[in-house]
Copies of this chain bind each other. A is one copy, B any other.
Amino acid sequence: NCDLLKAAVVDSVLSAFRSICGEDGVSMGGAVREQHGRDESVHRCRPPDVVVFPRCVEEVSALAKVCHKHRLPIIPFGTGTGLEGGVGAVKGGVSFSLRNMEQILDLHQEDFDVTVEPGVTRKTLNAYLRDTGLWFPVDPGADASLCGMAATSASGTNAVRYGTMRENVVNLEVVLADGTIIHTAGKGRRPRKTSAGYNLTNLFVGSEGTLGIITKTTLRLYGIPEAMVSAVCSFPSVQAAVDSTVQILQAGVPIARIEFLDDVMIDACNKFSSLSYPVTPTLFLEFHGSERSVEEQVSTTADITQSNGGADFQWAQDVETRNQLWKARHDAWYAAQALRPGCKAYATDVCVPLSRLPQIIVETKKDLIENKLTGPIAGHVGDGNFHCLMVVDPNDPEELHSVHLFSERLARPELLDEHQLQFVLSAYE
């Protein structure tokens, strides 16, 4: 009888899992499976068949061997803070929850590098580093797993100055589908640069778990700047805000953060974070460096923004005001959702050449209005990258469909031939 056979296989797989990571290292509980089948996005929960909790790379490898033998899908799970449904078990299978691997290893202050396991988040690492004068700047907003950030090639508000994960991962330990353990830059190596062999590190960075399970990542660290100043500036138009950005970059200002928020987004942030910024296209900025260099960066930037009609240039050096500002920016996702209670946000992620940005944002806003869609826009404008945060009622199939069509227009090459559309449609329905 086929069912009996299947049951027997399931039993043998589960007992193999238990013998590897212990009784409480394997869970088929409904709540646990639910929790590992969704992230923070609108994409509906796709629970795995079972969740395992390995404690070390050897256990990850042994578990992968079992899955490989039985051709079971593997889904690595970090913190579940993703916004694109990447953790959904679209074909069922085994979720590898890596939260029990949470060691910070081999901090080399003088070499500006550190190695972390998948359970270590961005904030945990920076708290650990606080007294060293070093920090890890890549900041996608959420307190994500650093290995997960490597797997998804995370970037964020600091990318314009410090780059994305792509520029800041120097080595990875990866478990391949068959259980093989590899080190992309060689075991124990942490080169600041290398051209030895193929660049495997950057093949795995951004591979979204499709090439293997990242069990260690070695990161590049930076000295904490002597001074940090943040600023907010309101503009009469999208064009004026983007022109200012281009001119700031052209002037060689080593800007640390330059974030665009459209009128709808700033309105949402005002409401959600009880702020009172003018409801017009806005730039949030941050400057890092020595006291003197920051002073100079601020004055250059102030000149440029004013020449483009920028107003209400407010700047702040104290930690509280700066944190409040960036918390507001990082809460944009929730601020957007709060515009329509009971709705969920649906991330789009587009990167275009800077010069195309004003036209594309204007076209996009027109499209949103025509189709009666709620989609506040926030952008890492220094990189020509913007997010249109679609706020959608998950129980309204018609609206979901209309959002789906909108995102396809956003991505349509013949319209915007230089787009890089990055969100995962596959998990979306």
Contacts and interface: CB of A to CB of B under 8 A. Distances in A.
Interface of A: 108, 110-113, 133, 152-155, 159, 163-164, 166-167, 185-186, 188-199, 202-203, 205-207, 223, 225-226, 246, 249-252, 254, 289-290, 292-293, 296, 300, 351-355, 383-385, 417-418, 420-422
Given A199-B206, A223-B252, A296-B292, A418 B192 contact: no
CB-based closest 5 A-B pairs: A153-B195, A111-B353, A202-B202, A194-B420, A110-B355
A247 to B, nearest CB: 10
This chain's copy number in the assembly = 2
A198 B188 contact: no
Contact of A193 (B111, B159, B202, B292): B159
17 contacts: A111-B353, A111-B384, A133-B250, A152-B195, A166-B193, A166-B195, A191-B352, A192-B351, A192-B353, A196-B422, A198-B206, A199-B202, A199-B206, A202-B202, A223-B251, A252-B289, A289-B293
Contacts of A166: 193, 195, 199, 202
A384 B246 CA distance: 34
Given A251-B223, A355-B110, A418 B383 contact: no
B195 A203 contact: no
B355 A111 contact: yes
A199 B163 CA distance: 15
Contacts of A199: 153, 166, 202-203, 205-206
A203 B203 contact: yes
A353 B113 contact: yes
Contacts of A185: 420
A117 to B, nearest CB: 20
A414 to B, nearest CB: 12
A203 B193 contact: no
Contacts of A252: 223, 225-226, 289-290
Contacts of A422: 194-196
Most buried by B among A110, A206, A250: A110
A354 B166 CA distance: 21
* Residue among A112, A163, A164 with max Cβ neighbours from chain B (10 Å): A112
Given A196-B421, A198-B206, A206-B199, A351 B383 contact: no
A226 B319 CA distance: 31
B195 A223 contact: no
Contacts of A112: 249, 354
Contacts of A110: 246, 354-355
A385 B193 contact: yes
Contact of A192 (B133, B289, B354): B354
A170 to B, nearest CB: 10
Contacts of A164: 193, 195
Nearest to A300: B290
A420 B191 contact: yes
